[in-house]
Amino acid sequence: MRIEATDLADVLLLIPEPFRDDRGLFTRTFDAAEFDAHLGEPGAAARFVQDSQSRSHRGVVRGMHGRCGRGEAKLVRCAHGAVHDVLVDIRPGSPTFGRQQAFLLDDNDFRHLYVPPGFLHGFQALSAVADVCYRIDRPHDPAEDLGVAYDDPELAIDWPQPVTLVSARDAGAGSWRELLAALHLTPRS
């Protein structure tokens, strides 16, 4: 498994190296020792306490979600199909505050993301069916949920396909400016 930095501060792309033959393939999707060594934090991988999975159909957007307080770190991968995965940095002191980056996560390359606390996260299903797996470092507390509308004009996320469906919660999410005001932050110019 290779681990690479991304354009967003502290976000890592984990790239398994599948062995392929006539039977199909085998890959290790995560290696705690390599992850800990890359972070320089023994035991970092052991902090992940919850695994979740979602299934979405082509065009569905889930997001943009985040958490206030201590936030949450997560590992995100697409176990089946493909998704256009988007992160937005909402950490006030970060050099990439307010910036976004998109990643293709799929069941061909098995790339997945390490997302530290302090990011909005969302994705769009690009395949007929897409299963996304999340490994999270804290139990979910709905009282800490944050959200920004997937179609917020200031974020201007470029979803690659027409959006076919979003949840009522995501459709009713606030704006980028409302999130900044709630967090007592101002946008960068």
CA quadruple 14, 53, 87, 71: dihedral, nearest 10: -100
Tell me the catalytic residues: 65, 134
CA separation for the pair 81, 127 (Å, rounded):
5
Half-sphere exposure of 39 (CA within 13 A, CB side): 20
Q: Token digits for 134? A: 């999340």
Contact present, 128 and 57 (Cβ < 8 Å): yes
What are the Cα distances from residue 168, in Å, to 63, 76, 145?
11, 23, 15
Give me the half-sphere count of Cα atoms (radius 13 Å) on the Cβ side of residue 62. 14
Amino acid, single-letter form, for residue 132: V
Percentages of the chain per state (helix, strand, coil), in multiples of 5:
15, 40, 45
